[in-house]
Amino acid sequence: MSNQAVRRVFWGGFWASIPFIMVIVPFGMMFGLAGTEAGLSLVQIMGFTIIVIAGAAQFAALHLMLENAPIFIIILTALAVNLRMAMYSASLYPHLGRLNFWKKILVSYLILDQSYIASILQFEKSPQVSLGLKFAFFMGTVTPIWPFWYLGTYVGATVGAQIPPQYALDFVLPLAFLAMVAPTLRTRPQVAAALTSVVMSLLLIKLPYNSGLLVAALLAMLVGSYVEQKATARRIQKT
């Protein structure tokens, strides 16, 4: 494996993630502004972002903190929102599971929605590519994302309050997830799980402390698993 090939693959991952910057920066700004309005200091906001590095979980936790929810509810909700990271890890394991310990630690920290989407689409398209090149591509996908997540949060925390109301960033969060999730909904189990999560989240929206989100996530996984089992059984019967 030549250095030239590694560089080429790395930059391929880099350019694949560049479009996500248009969403990452305002998303980070929105969290920085929300943290400031919640009374967090700049150090607390940046520490939150750097340690957790998961925007949806950060927003969920911050919202519950403002509602004075019990700490176990805050932790449970954040874990539920971030449960997708465990599924991302399981999906990436066949491709990156043979990395050494320190590279696994690095990948674990840098698994983001955007890096996962860009990487898994490439890995499934070219599954026979070597481990080194897959790691290079993954690192390429995260390189333009995490620095801008930090930067967006910092800008939102320091100057976000000066943004005129007509330029509100509230639309960014749902837009970001729609843009990331849509390309991955390619099978019936995936579509069934997505629809279940959307419908149940809306039906259970009035449950206290956003606990409807936890129930919706659990039901979505159960429905997706059930549809997958049925599809597998049908394939076995046909053979």
For 131-170, write each residue's pLDDT tens digit. Answer: 999 999 999 999 998 899 999 999 989 986 666 555 555 5
Other residues' Cβ atoms within 10 Å of the Cβ of residue 99: 17
116, with CB counted inside 10 A (0-12, 13-18, 19+), is: buried
Residue of 20, 56, 61, 27 whose CA lies nearest to 44: 61
For 190-204, write each residue's pLDDT tens digit. Answer: 788 878 888 888 888
pLDDT of residue 221: 78
Contacts of residue 135, defined as CB under 8 A and 6 or more positions apart, other chains included, come to 96, 99, 103, 107
Most distant CA pair in the chain, distance: 64
What's this model's pTM, rounded to 2 decimal places? 0.73
d(CA 5, CA 1) in angstroms, rounded, equals 7
pLDDT of residue 173: 60
Task: Report yes or no: 82 and 59 within 8 Å, Cβ to Cβ.
Answer: no
pLDDT of residue 181: 63
Amino acid of residue 109: Y
pLDDT of residue 200: 86
pLDDT < 50 regions, the chain = none
pLDDT of residue 95: 92
Task: Report yes or no: 74 and 82 within 8 Å, Cβ to Cβ.
Answer: no
Task: Report yes or no: 212 and 198 within 8 Å, Cβ to Cβ.
Answer: no
